[in-house]
Structure 1
Amino acid sequence: MRKRVSIKAVQAFEAAARLGSFALAAEDLAVTPSAVSHQVKLLEEQLGVRLFHRVHRSVALTDAGRVYAAEVTAAFARIDAATQAVATVSGGAILTVHSTPSFATQWLMPRLTRFQDLHPGIDIRLHASVAPADLAQGAVDVDIRYNPGPAPAGAVLVPFPEDTIVPMCSPALANGLKPIRRPEDLGQHTLIHSEINILGWRDWARRHRKVQLDLERGPRFDRSFMAISAAVDGLGVCLDSILLAERELLSGRLVVPFQTAGMKAQGHGLVTLKSTADLPKIRAFREWLFDELKKARRWEEQVLDGRPPRPAP
C-alpha cells in the first residue's frame, strides 16, 4: 500500500533540510521550533525512516534524509515555478482555438478584435491546419472543423448555419470583353476549382443543365482562401462560400456577377469536449461566434438579392 504523508510535515522537513536548523525553519514558516520538530517527527513515523540526526541543538540529515530532501526540494521548486507562471497571467485566461486555415484566415481573424473588445480578460491563441485537433490531449479548447461529421466520443458538435456557395469573380472579369450577366455566360470563362469543398462546379452544373461548362480545365486549389485570392487576381470564376469571401465582396474586389439563390452546404462546426463546454472562456467564445455568424447570415441576404453589400453591424 502506498504510504501517505502529511503535506504540512513535508513542508516542515523541506524547510529544516534547506536551512539546516529547526529554529530557522520555524522562522521561515512562521511557526514555533517545537511545531517544526513535531512535524518532522510525525513524518519520520509515517515513513518509518529516520531523516535527521539530532545532536544537542543542531540537526543533520541522515543518508535517507539527504536522498529524500533532494526530491522534495525539487518538487517544491516546481511548485514555485508553476505558481509564478500562473501569477504572470494576471488573472487572465488563454483560449486556444484550432481552425481550418481558410476559415481562420478569411473570416475569424478579421473579427478577433471584436471578441477582444468584449472579453479583454481572454487572450486567443489561434492554430490552423486541415487535420482535426485531438481535444482529449488538452492543448486545444475548441476546434472549428470543415465537414466535421459526427462528434467524437466525449465531445459535442454545434453546427454552423449552412454555407451559401455562389460563383464569384473580379469586377474586371464580370464587366470585360466577355461580360458575365447570366449563368450561361460562365461557359466562356475559366473555372477555378476548390478541390476539398463539399460542393464544386460539377454540383453546380447538375443544377444548371442548360449551361455548358468545361469542367476538365481551370486551376485547382486545395484551400478556399487560395481559390478566392485567384479569383480576385482575375484568374477566373471561383465557386465558394459567401461567408469566406466576405472581405473581398465588401471591398469590391469580388462580385457575384448575377442574382442567384446559391447552393447550400453544411460546412463548418464547433467541437468542444463535453467536460469543458461550459467553462466561462469557452462559453463566451461560442456565444460570440454564433452571434457573429447570425449577423453574417443577414449580410449574405443583401448579396443574394443583388444589393450592394454593406458590413454586418
Structure 2
Amino acid sequence: MREIPPLRAIQAFESAARLGSFQRAAEELRVTPSAISHQIRALEKEVGADLFHRTNRRIVLTDVGRRYAAEVGEAFGQLEAATRDLTRRGKRDILTIHSVPSLATQWLMPRIMRFNAQAPVLDVRLNASSEPVDLSHGAVDLDIRYGTVLPAAGLAIEPLPREPIVAVCAPSLLEGPNGIREPADLARHSLIHSEVNLYRWHDWARDNDVDLDLERGSRFDRSFLSISAALDGLGVCLESRLLVDREIDAGRLVLPFGDAGPRLTCHSLVYLRSRARVGKIAGFRKWLLAEVGAG
C-alpha cells in the first residue's frame, strides 16, 4: 500500500496553493472554506510540517509548502494529462516503441504498417533518440538499442540477427575512368564516416588490405545522415545492409563490392522480463525477429 496522505487533503492543498486562497479553493472543489482549512490542517499534521503561513486572513506558502506544492502540482498535471489522453484516444491499447534514430528512420518506419496490418487493434507510438529509456517507468514497452547493452535486473536483452556491413554509394560513383571497381579505388573518392558505428573505415581498410586517407571525408554522428550524404553523391559510406535496403532496392544506392562484408550484432531488443508475455510485446517481438531475419 502506498504511503501517501488522503487524496482529498492533497487535492485541497494543491488547489489552495495554486489559487492562493482557501475561499477560491473551496469554490473550485465545491466545499466550504472551513472544509478546506480542516483538510490542510490534517495534511500538515500528517506530514509534520506547516505548509502555509496564515496572517490576517491571508495564506502564504512556507518554503516546505512551496516545494511540496510544485511536486504535487506536477503530479496532478500528469494525472490530468493521462485522463485527457485516455479520453481523446479512447480505450485502444497503445504499443510504445523506443528506438535509436537511424534504425527508426531507415528501417522501422517504412515497415511499421506491416505490423499494424497484423495487429489492427493496436495503435503504435514510435519514439527515437540515441539515449536508452528506463523501461521500469512503464511509459515505453520496448527499446531497440545499438551496440553493447549492459545487463540490468529485470531486463530481457535479445540481440537481433547479425547484420552485414557494406560499402554503399550513389550509382554515379561507379561511372567514368575514376569509377569504383575495386577496394583500392576508394583512395580516389571521399569517405563518409559514421562516427558511432561499431565497424568503421579503418577496420574496412585493414580487412581489405588497402591504404586509405582516413583523415579526410565528411563525418556524422547518425547513420541516417551518412546515408543521406551518400544519396547526394558526396562519397562512399559504410553501413549496415539493414539500414540501406530501401535505397538499394530502389536503385538510389549501389554496392560497389557486393554484399561481402563482416556480419555484426548491431542492435538489441530490450524489454522487461515481467512483461514478456504481454500480448502486444510478444507480438511485436515475434514480428520484428521475422522481419529482420527475412531481410
Query: SS of the counterpart of 1:231?
Result: helix
Shift of 1:105: 0.3
Distance change >3 Å, CA 222–CA 83, structure 1 → 2: closer
Q: CA deviation at 1:186?
A: 1.3
Residue correspondence of structure 1 range 253-264 to structure 2 within 5 A: 253-264=252-263
- Alignment TM-score, normalising by the size of structure 2: 0.71
Q: How does 1:281-300 map to 2 (within 5 A)?
A: 281-296=280-295
CA distance in 1, matches of 2:205, 2:83: 61
Q: Counterpart of 2:215 in 1: which secondary structure?
A: coil
Matches within 5 A, 1:122-201: 122-201=122-201
Which position in structure 1 is the counterpart of 2:25? none
TM-score by length of structure 1 reads: 0.67
What does the per-residue CA deviation read over 1:208-246, in whole Å, with 9 as the maximum and x for residues that have no partner?
12x221111111100000001101101000011110011
Counterparts of residues 214-253 of structure 1 (less than 5 Å): 214-253=213-252
SS in 1 for 2:107: helix
Q: Secondary structure at the match of 2:242?
A: coil
Contact 2:164 2:259 in 1 (8 A): no
| 2:264 match | 265
1:151 touches 1:271 (CA, 8 Å); kept in 2? no
Aligned to 2:48: none
Partner of 2:158: helix, strand, or coil?
Answer: strand
- Give the 3-state SS of the residue equivalent to 2:289 in structure 1: helix
Could you give the per-residue CA deviations for residues 181-205 of structure 1, whole angstroms, max 9, x where no partner exists? 1112112111111000000001111
Give the Cα–Cα distance (whole angstroms) in 2 for the partners of residues 196 and 80 of structure 1. 40
Contact in 1 for aligned 2:178/2:188 (Cα 8 Å): yes
CA distance in 2 between counterparts of 1:234 and 1:200 reads 19
Considering only CA atoms, is the larger Rg found in Structure 1 or Structure 2?
A: 1
Q: Which amino acid aligns with 1:93?
A: D
In 1, are the aligned partners of 2:146 and 2:268 still within 8 Å (CA)?
A: yes
What secondary structure does 1:161 align onto?
coil
Q: Supply the AA of the counterpart residue of 2:255.
A: V
Output the aligned Cα RMSD: 2.9
Q: How many correspondences in the alignment?
A: 231
Aligned equivalents of 1:259, 1:79: Cα separation in 2: 54
1:258 CA drift (Å): 2.3
**CA distance 1:83–1:109, shift in 2 (3 Å):** closer
Q: Is the 8 A contact 2:276 2:282 kept in 1?
A: yes
Amino acid at match of 2:256: P
